[in-house]
Structure 1
Amino acid sequence: MSSRSAKAESAIRRFLARTNKASEDVALDTSLFADGVGMDSLETAELSAVLEDELGRDPFSEGLTPQTIAELVDFYDEDAPAQ
């Protein structure tokens, strides 16, 4: 895991804890929506803003729709630099 993906995972877990969506020990393969942590569209937009602020980019703004925490973290494991 790269340092960027570790930062992303930490930011995601802090967001989920702050919004009472999941505990810190939630599994990476947990769905972000419905049967997983149950994020709605407003929370998804807020998480997108948090990731953009902390890491310089986010998958939602780039047209991707990650379904799990792992897919979000993997986005930051790419070699693309932050803008």
Structure 2
Amino acid sequence: MDMNAAVLAEALTRLKRAHGQLGGVIGMIENGDDCERVLTQLAAVSKALDRAGFKIISTGLQQCQAARERGEEPPITPERLEKLFLALS
């Protein structure tokens, strides 16, 4: 499957946001911040990573459908996409 940054711009934005949030969580732990605040931010990082992964899967599904409509072989099999989707859930 093509990992074109322009096509995956939304996923890339989410990953960059998660990267920043994770740095913040690490800093919070290093500074002995409140446990509840740390866990809240960690949950936000986890959700951002999940959403980025699901966006990548969604893009793959769209690419497969477009290939089928053009009469071409999809860039990844539906079974492989299903396996990747289940790995995220």
For the criterion TM > 0.5, the same-fold answer is: no
Question: Which protein has the larger Cα radius of gyration, Structure 1 or Structure 2?
Answer: 2
- Structure in which a larger fraction of residues adopt helix: 2
Query: TM-score if structure 2 supplies the norm length?
Result: 0.30
